[in-house]
Structure 1
Amino acid sequence: MLTSTKQQIQHFLTKNEDKARLLVSCPDQPGIVSCISRFLYEHGANIVESNQYTTDHEEGTFFLRIVFASENMKEKEENLKINFHTIAEQFGMTWRMTFLHELKRTAIFVSKELHCLRELLYEWESGNLVTDIPLVISNHETARDIVESFGIPFYYIPANKDIRKEVEEKQLELLEEYDIDLIVLARYMQILTPNFVDRHPSKIINIHHSFLPAFIGANPHKRAYKRGVKLIGATSHYVTDDLDEGPIIEQDVIRVDHRNNVHDLKKKGRLIERSVLNRAVKWDIEDRVLVHKNKTIVL
């Protein structure tokens, strides 16, 4: 890790060492916010940020993201988790509590196209992406120089459909060895098996180079050109067993017209892909994304 990046991340950790995040989803009912607020007050915590959302009344699911602060958070975190179980059971909550002094660990997978990888590394270097990146895995050597210039270990593992099982076994071993929390497919052009996806549910983020659900699968720019579209886009989503159909985290578009050929569409598309993936990864790292059925709630 570069010295300046280390310093910026250490500054963030020091500044936020007494903060934590709580994410909750449960059936909507009276008293949820009041009960959580009282719980935090009784544990000496102060709410510094709070966002909530409730689905339509027919379904009635409640979502909440709270950032709270308390002195000596490291000493309290175990009790906070244990004691919150009572509230969670009372309201039928799905929840998680994370502590900002614990840096999340992100692995990046990439193939030949490096624009998304570069964006993530530059954002990480500038301190805007507060995570540890212990390794980058690729099925090509193309990214080695840039990755190693950032002081990050690079693993070249050739991959194709005939050796997919053996390849994923090596990848899974590395992910376990490096204790990875999040996997980012930064234009990694290989389909993951159900076994791999099941090992990391809602923890694999992909960038697809079209505005899903339009042009699912390969060569979306060529198909978009043939269709004569006036907008092209990019979609970042969690990976599921269904190709390009996982819960969408972020999307964006850019205008095109009849003067643009397929090469132009790809060139413009890369600009969108970089920013869309970066935002999705940032939101996940900041615990802003809750998965609900095949959708996401971003708070």
Structure 2
Amino acid sequence: MQISKRQFIVGGAAALGAAGLPARLWSGTTLEFGELRIDTLSDGYLVMPASFALAGLDAEAVAPILARHGLSPEGPFEPPCNVTLLRDGERVVMFDVGSGPNFMPTAGKLDEALDLLGITRDDVTHVVFTHGHPDHLWGLLDDFGDPAFYNAEFLMGADEFAYWMDPDTVNTIDPARQSFAVGAKNRLEVIADVARTFSDGEEILPGVAARASYGHTPGHMSFEISTGGESVMVVGDAIINHHLAFERPDWPAPSDQDPGTGARTRVALLDRLAHKQMTFIGFHLPGGGIGRAERKPDGGYRFVGMG
């Protein structure tokens, strides 16, 4: 398994400098194994209040963990957004589509990443969703309200699709997330007649198996990509960050819609990943999101980045 890192100046340093703007560095990570190539594509980053990650947690217990990672409990947190692109010679498969231009000004940068790889949206043959939150789904449509990946087949877990399409979800979800429900339903309705749904354990594409990782959302899915005896797991937001989620995976995460289920999922997932020393990709993990989980003597884990 080979991993490489690449960096580009977006737009060209000279052009940006002439416009009086700072040169912006874009990074990406490539993993190659067997006949497969996986690229993580930067969709930018989010700016989140501390409460999104820390509400309800013991401040005294949280503080030293954040300090070890150079973070302040006052926030804000700025997690990266890593979209995964899989190429096998026949298919170009994108896992999640980023947030598009209407969620946060710091996100929605996927087109820049695709351009740097020489890939267009029309090249994408399959779009696979881990879940329906805005930073994963809202890039689905173009400026005209049509699917932005015109030639792609769309796939989402059956429970996740049903949850966001349910007209009562907007009334039962946390009020702070009601816009998530409205946005997801509006977008999924556009592809409802052509989307393919699946269940836990199904091989949704050759060498790609769905793995239920519920809790962050009711039907959140991870995906195990396998070839030649090696596997990589795309975990989406089942492991939401590189600090608390690893050091104390048993703690409820306020960003999970069902914190109890999310914690149980995280504990089981990290145990499996560490035991098998399986490479995985997290949507909000640093360095392109590619790494492994290493057990710590105190029972927690650490994220070992490979990007």
* Same fold by TM-score greater than 0.5: no
More helix by share: 1
TM-score relative to the length of structure 2: 0.30
